[in-house]
Amino acid sequence: MPQPSSPRNDAAAPARAQVRLSAQVLTCLALCLVAAAILFFRHVSPLALWSYPFPPLWQLLIGQGLALVAAVASYLLFRFTADSESTARTVRSYARLDLDGLNPLWISMCAAIGEEMLFRAALQPLLGLWITSLVFLVMHTPVYRGQRPDRATLVQAAGVFGASVVLGLVFQYVGLLAAMLVHAWIDIVGLVVVRSVMRSRA
């Protein structure tokens, strides 16, 4: 597990407000609205969006199997970098989220729906898999800004980029619902791990 920062550092750091579940829901809606605008101007059929290339039921079945693999990989990646300062910064950043009760599930669903609508359904057909994954990486690394990258930071960045590539391939070859399901399970595992770490320090 990542080591907690020293009391001196915690005291010197300004307190930051907790990010409520309502903020996550609003962010999801905003991403969906941006995606909807892009899809509208691209004249994408809503039916085709949810049923291509596999029907919805098959997307959910295949997506659940892929999600299990992704969840295990996400946990193993955390264990591989658990003792690094980079992971400690990540845990501190995500600990600002309200992770009580079932909130890890709802936050993960919001992220999966909003981000997959924007990055996969709206942007990937325009920018391609690799550029979209690069944009996805940039949007997911604010916790590292101003920090000297160490090995764990590079591993985590590679993991985020790789996850985006995998999600893009799932979207392309299975469908949007499957990509959302895989994304949600990756985030659920990550947030539950963060909650567990924070509770162990309390």
pTM: 0.85
Q: What number is the average pLDDT over the span 19-30?
A: 90
Are residues 168 and 135 in contact, defined by beta-carbon separation less than 8 angstroms? Answer: no
Among 14-23, 37-46, 104-113, 140-149, which is the least confidently predicted range? 140-149
**Other C-beta atoms lying within 10 Å of the C-beta of residue 85:** 16
Answer yes or no: is pLDDT of 2 > 50. no
pLDDT of residue 202: 65
∠ Cα 107 133 44 (to 5°): 80
Give CA torsion, residues 71, 73, 77, 79, to 10 deg: 70
Looking at per-residue pLDDT, the higher value among 194 and 58 belongs to 58
> What band does 175 get if pLDDT is binned at 50, 70 and 90?
very high
Token pair, residue 79, equals 């264990």
Among 2-11, 122-131, 133-142, which is the least confidently predicted range? 2-11
pLDDT, tens only, 35-74:
999 999 999 888 888 998 999 999 999 999 999 998 888 8
Q: What number is the average pLDDT over the span 20-27?
A: 90
Answer yes or no: is pLDDT of 100 > 70. yes
pLDDT of residue 13: 41
Domain ranges, ordered by start, for the chain? 20-201
Q: What number is the average pLDDT over the span 89-100?
A: 81
Q: What number is the average pLDDT over the span 136-158?
A: 72
* Residue of 67, 73, 34, 63 lying closest to 160 (CA atoms): 73
Whole-number Å distance between alpha carbons of 174 and 33: 24
Answer yes or no: is pLDDT of 195 > 70. yes
Answer yes or no: is pLDDT of 14 > 70. no
